[in-house]
Amino acid sequence: MALQLPAWWKIDPTAPFELGPRRLPGRIWTASGCFAYGLTGHDFAAPGFASPYEGLGAVVTKTVTPAPRAGNPMPRLAETACGAINSIGLENVGFDRFCDEVLPELERRGVPTVASLAATRPAEFGTMAARLHRVAGGFAHWHGVEVNLSCPNVAEGGHDFGRDPATVAECVAAARAELPDRALLAKLTPNITDITELSGAAINAGADAVSAINTVLGLEVDLTTGQPVLPRRFGGYSGPAVLPIALAKVDEIVQKTGGKVVGVGGIATATDALKFFALGAVAVQVGTAQMRDPFAAARIARELRPG
């Protein structure tokens, strides 16, 4: 049965919209790490869909770091009754290979792309953004950068970027200076008392929007051993169970700061996505559901088209 859209919903989420200096092709995105780099979707097929990219506004890539990373020891993903806990450890090919091989191939295939970047010093975000612009400034399908601020700041004793508003601002400002014509987003952690302080710092430093939320800290236990399932004990919890948390954080940001928000967290259906739009989100990202079904975001985009 087709979804009965509410009377207040008038937006076509597959129509272009402006975010900062960039016009993106739609409001339904895939979340970082949940569709890899965005290169494998052409290998999938589903009845009624030309590809998993149909109707999408952006694929946010797997997070890329200055140097390649092998990631954390296995196992690093555990499914739960209402989601999944991961401790991937930012496994990626490294920034050089991303610029030389991955981003040009995404452009060749016409994949709408937002590059997710992580670093260990605030200034590195500027260095990475500058090279991205040199490499891809003429690309039609590279639309912007999402700075992943859940990494340790080695320059300041190892605390998380995402927990300190001043450091959030420094990271965003460094990237903003090098991205004159691309959208810039800051992905925020929910593992903090007041997410609006982080949002305000990011927006004031030049972010066009914040992505909220990143994963919630979680742990799962293997009862056969009596030990945590993940070798690093804790991981990032995502999936349907975090939806109410994400909605609450998005509402806080919109109501208290007025900043633009891309909603993330627990979205599996068009109904879930509508809840974020009802609270004022300008776009949404589909994460864990996209790992289970590579057409999840495309289905949501199709179901939310009015008429």
Residues annotated catalytic, as ranges: 151
Amino acid code (one letter) for 35: F
Distance from C-alpha of 250 to C-alpha of 240, rounded to nearest angstrom = 16
Distance from C-alpha of 157 to C-alpha of 246, rounded to nearest angstrom = 29
Distance from C-alpha of 292 to C-alpha of 167, rounded to nearest angstrom = 35
Count of residues making up the chain = 307
Residues 6+ apart with CB under 8 A from 83: 237, 238, 239, 240, 241, 242, 266, 288
Burial class (CB in 10 A: 0-12, 13-18, 19+), 28: buried
Omega of the bond prior to 213 within 30 degrees of 0, cis? yes
